[in-house]
Amino acid sequence: MNTSLSQYAIIFAWLLMLNIVGTCSFNIHCNQKDKHALLNFKQGVIDPSGVLSSWSTQQDCCQWKGVMCNNITSRVTTLSLPCHTTLPTYTDKVDKSHCLTGSIHLSLVEFEFLNYLDLSNNDFLAIHFDPVDSQTCHNISADTTSRQCVNSSVLGYFDLSDNTNLIIDSLEWLSRISSLDQLDLSAIDLHREVDWLRSVTMLPSLSYLVMRGCQLEDLSPSLEYANFTTLKLLDLSDNEFDSELPKWLFNLSSGITDVHLGSNSLRGQLPKALLNLRHLESLTLEHNKLNGPIPDWLGQFELLQVLNLQENMFSGSIPTNLGNLSSLISLAVNANQLTGVLSERNFAKLSKLKVLIMGISPPLIFDFDSHWVPPFQLEQLSFSFAGPNLPTWFYTQTSIDFLSIVYSSFQIENEFHKFVSRRMIMLDLESNSIDGDMSEVLLNSTFIIISSNDLKGGLPRLSSNVVGAVLLNNSLSGSISSLLCDHEMSSGKSNLKFLDISLNNLSGGLTNCWKNWRTLMHINLGSNNLTGQIPPSMGLLHNLTTLHLHQNKLYGEIPQSLRNCHSLLIFNVRENNFSGNIPNWIVPSAVAIQLRSNQFSGTIPEQICQMPSLIIFDFADNNISGHIPNCLHHMTSFVFNNASKSKLTFYIALGNIYYECEDSLDLITKGQGLHYNTNLHFVTLIDLSSNELSGSIPPQMFNLVGLHSLNLSFNKLVGRIPEEIGNMKNLESLDLSTNQLSGEIPEIMSKLTFLGYLNVSFNNFRGRIPSGTQLGGFNASSYMGNPGLCGPPLTKYCPQDTKSEDMKPYSKDNDGSHFLSWFYIGLASGFVTGFWGVCGTLFFNRKCRHAYFTFLYDLRDRFYVMIVTKRNLSPSSNKFLLWQ
């Protein structure tokens, strides 16, 4: 035995020595075949930030960035080039301008010893393979489908996930990589691949399959078996499956531990065949259309750690058998149609439970023993309930980092004040009926949401740990100085980035204590009763991106100090009493400026044209005079229709997750006030209505082809509508009413196919309204007040209409003329018919003919007597007879 051990020790020592010698003593160069394949890959790559700058022929490829070689053989074993991105404050999608793009050469997977390939989170656009040995190979891209000449025996890990612009038509080439153990294709567009299931089942060693968010549609629900003999994890969440759970799912390998099918449109009830997957540790079916009761047999999964059934259509009560899941760590059943009573029996053996998410529409009824102490300590708790008081076991949970109580009604107790004063990552008490005073409470959580309640009294205090505070839509009153001028914050150590206390009854001025809150990025104080001027200290908020002061009683001029807020994107001061000139220093990077309904005067500064990112330009309802600047075409967001790239969403990092706050604005477009939040970044708007603007509309304005809404109504504009208006192909709302515009309405306006609202009333337009369904489809009120206009939809005829029946406008008068024409035709036909009917009777019937002529002779004698008598009467006799 000792001899054997000594032999193994000698062998190990030799191997260790060889490894050391190989790595330190010899100058081993990478294999030329591997190097050639890597250079082929580089040729198809666009590298905007120089990630592959070290990949030169003068340097050993084993030293290239992302490349790892075997220490002994020097063959390439690993290629890892994931792109590392950070989520900006305001974005529509993650910025990948520095990531690798271009095409991927699948010759990479031909490496004889390559075991690990990671190209995730880049921006590749196609997969490409060069023909080798006269074999016929094709591209996989947005336009082609193909077979691939790929053959690899050792590649085990392949990650292409989050290349969101990559479209793959076929996965047939995967079958050649028979050694694959882990495959991640998440967020790649596979909607054209209808046979994806067959392709991945041909990988005999596959244990880890992730195809999340691939736009897959066919789950093959009727297929009995899928050949996944080694599969342990299956993630097909966030696709477009619209069927019942597939039969092959219940016949997977008995060793499968994780099944994720959330965020699809799966329907039907949970079949008991799921029990075939005895070793399940994680089952997530959230955000589907599954219905029926939550089956009590789920309590038989002894190894289950994660059960997520939230956001479905499950009904009935939560089965008590779930309390038998002794391994359960996370349970989520909220946002269903569950009813009934919850008690300690539902949680009897859940000693490992860390995450509990339940309730919301309708609230559950709690019936817990007041002396019950749970066997668990939660880290995340989210629930809604019906009852006047929180259950006593709630106060035993001292490890909660994420707390959410919503759509509930309960009384605030002193113990609750102490509980929410603890330090947590998230405190969410949104949309309850909390009625109380929290002005003496010191909130200590990283992100706080206590919106849409009935809180009274002053603002609560915030510790330096708070990053975000949302207290909107309450009944809070008093001054904001109680919060902003807190002596504990005088040191300027605050970490607050997001503050929303809008829709309250706060009063007083804006104070001058903003120097203590220099980390602020988002401020919303709108819809209160604040008065006074904007204090100069607001200019110290150099990180400020959003400032909402709308619907208050603020006045004065906009202070020059705000020009120091270089990051300002949204500036909203609508519906106040601000005056003076429009600032000519507004930050060029701004995305939305809303100054409407104030008392601003002067002219529109030409500096406004130097704002290439502006998509909301709302100066309506002021006293602005002068001409419209003729340089508006320099505002490139209106010209190139790229508004959707500027999503106005605020992200705050909470540990390893992001909290998303969507910004919003109230805009007047299409003749009505509309609230925009999630779709705000799709709106492009210019509103200069209700001012004193004069002169003509500059033709350059109609080169704004990306503009959706233009309102110049209630001004003193003159001149014609330029023909350039035909360029505005995306225009949806146009209001030029109540000006002094003249001339004809350009015929080209009938080509504006997206135009859904038009108002040119009360001007001096003349001539025929252009024909066609686009302009003729609007109501007559869109054209009223223009005496010279004619044609549909107005009832007024145009002069040329009388020359041709085809030119007559459609109206009620037209209908009357049409009716009269047929009336006269009918009358004439009736006369002819009657005349010949009488004549025919007289001609063929002797008695009738004799009676008819006797009547005529008698009538002649009566007329003769009457005429003679009238002639013989004297004037006096006539007078007498008249008075008789």
DSSP per-residue string spanning 24-59: HTS-PPPPHHHHHHHHHHHHTEE-TT-TTTT--TTS
pLDDT surpasses 80 at 194 = yes
The predicted structure's pLDDT at residue 710: 96
In this predicted structure, what is the pLDDT of residue 435? Answer: 82
Give the pLDDT score at 257.
96
Query: 200 pLDDT band (50/70/90 cuts)?
Result: very high
Percent share of the chain, pLDDT over 70? 82
Mean pLDDT of 777-801: 89
Q: Which of 317, 312, 229, 234 is nearest to 270 (CA)?
A: 312
Residue position matching structure tokens 């100090």: 561
Of residues 86 and 207, more confidently modeled: 207
DSSP annotation string for 311-327: SSEEEEPPPGGGGG-TT
CA dist 279 and 288 (Å) reads 23
Asked whether residue 853 carries a pLDDT value surpassing 70, the answer given is no
CATH architecture under which domain 30-169 falls: Alpha-Beta Horseshoe (3.80)
Confidence of residue 642 (pLDDT cuts 50, 70, 90): low
pLDDT for 489: 54
pLDDT of residue 876 exceeding 60, the answer is no
pLDDT for 350-408, tens place per residue? Answer: 999 999 999 776 778 888 999 999 999 999 999 988 777 888 999 999 999 999 999 88
What count of residues does the chain have? 884
What pLDDT sits at residue 12? Answer: 47
Angle, helices 812-844/846-872, rounded to nearest 10 degrees: 110
In this predicted structure, what is the pLDDT of residue 584?
86
Query: What φ, ψ does residue 858 adopt, rounded to 5°?
Result: -60, -40
What's the token pair of residue 113? Answer: 């010893």
Query: Residue 473 in 3-state DSSP?
Result: coil
Judge contact between 339 and 312, C-beta under 8 A.
no
What is the rounded CA–CA span in Å between residue 361 and residue 649? 27
pLDDT tens-digit profile of 147-170?
A: 445 455 689 999 999 999 999 999
**What is the C-alpha to C-alpha distance for residues 728 and 744, in angstroms, rounded to an integer?**
18
pLDDT for residue 92: 56
217-398 matches 569-810 in fold:
yes
Q: With residue 883 as reference, give the H or E element that holds it.
A: helix 875-883
**Torsion sign (Cα): 2, 7, 10, 16:** negative
DSSP states along 629-698: PTTGGG-HHHHTT-GGGS--EEEEEETTEEEEEE--EEEEETTEEEEESTTGGG--EEE--SSEEEEEPP
Q: How confident is the model at residue 637 (pLDDT cuts 50, 70, 90)?
A: confident
Nearest to residue 230, comparing CAs of 210, 211, 212, 203?
203
Please report where in the chains the tokens 């919303």 appear, as a residue: 524
pLDDT score recorded for residue 305 = 98
Q: 129-138, 263-272, 606-615: lowest mean pLDDT where?
A: 129-138
The bridge status of strand 101-105 relative to strand 45-46 is antiparallel
Does the pLDDT at position 344 exceed 70? yes
End-to-end C-alpha distance for the chain, whole angstroms: 161
pLDDT higher than 90, residue 144: no
What is the chain's alpha carbon radius of gyration, rounded to the nearest angstrom? 40
Looking at domain 217-398, which of 3.40.50.620, 3.40.50.300, 3.40.50.720, 3.80.10.10 is its CATH number?
3.80.10.10
Residues paired with residue 741 on neighbouring β-strands, in sequence order: 719
Q: CB of 761 within 8 A of CB of 780?
A: no
Which band of pLDDT confidence, cut at 50, 70 and 90, is reported for residue 23?
very low
Average confidence score pLDDT of the chain: 83
Position 110 scores a pLDDT of: 66
Is the confidence at residue 675, as pLDDT, over 60? yes
Which comes out higher in pLDDT, residue 847 or 696? Answer: 696
pLDDT > 90 fraction of the chain, expressed in percent and rounded? 56
Task: Check whether 597 has a pLDDT greater than 70.
Answer: yes
Residue 828: pLDDT band by 50, 70, 90 thresholds? low
Three-state SS sequence of 847-881? HHHHHHHHHHHHHHHHHHHHHHHHHHCCHHHHHHH
- Reported as a single tens digit per residue, the pLDDT across 726-770 is 989 999 999 999 999 999 999 999 888 899 999 999 999 999 999
Residue 810's pLDDT band, with cuts at 50, 70 and 90, is very low
- pLDDT value at 68 more than 70: yes
Q: Which residues pair with 210 in a beta bridge?
A: 184, 235
DSSP β-ladder status, 599-601 and 577-581: parallel
- Give me the mean pLDDT over the 437-461 stretch: 92
* Location of structure tokens 């629900």: 221
Q: Please give the average per-residue pLDDT across 272-298, as a whole number.
A: 96
Q: Where are the domains of the chain?
A: 30-169, 217-398, 411-530, 569-810, 815-872
Q: How confident is the model at residue 868 (pLDDT cuts 50, 70, 90)?
A: very low
pLDDT at residue 142 tops 70: no
Is residue 24 scored above 70 in pLDDT? Answer: no
Q: Poorest-confidence range of 114-118, 542-546, 585-589, 689-693?
A: 585-589
439-to-366, 457, 461, 483 alpha-carbon distances in Å: 30, 6, 7, 9
What average pLDDT does range 630-636 have in this prediction?
Answer: 85
User: Is the per-residue pLDDT at 20 higher than 60?
Assistant: no
**Does 133 have pLDDT greater than 70?**
no
Answer yes or no: is pLDDT of 87 > 80. no
Topology (CATH) of 411-530: 3.80.10
Alpha-carbon distances of 180 from 76, 106, 116, rounded to whole Å: 17, 15, 10
Rounded CA separation 485/217 (Å): 56
Q: What is the pLDDT of residues 230-270, one digit of tens each?
A: 999 999 999 999 999 999 999 888 889 999 999 999 999 99
| Residue 587 confidence class, pLDDT cut points 50, 70, 90 | confident
Query: Is 569-810 CATH 3.80.10.10?
Result: yes
Q: pLDDT category, 708, cuts 50, 70, 90?
A: very high
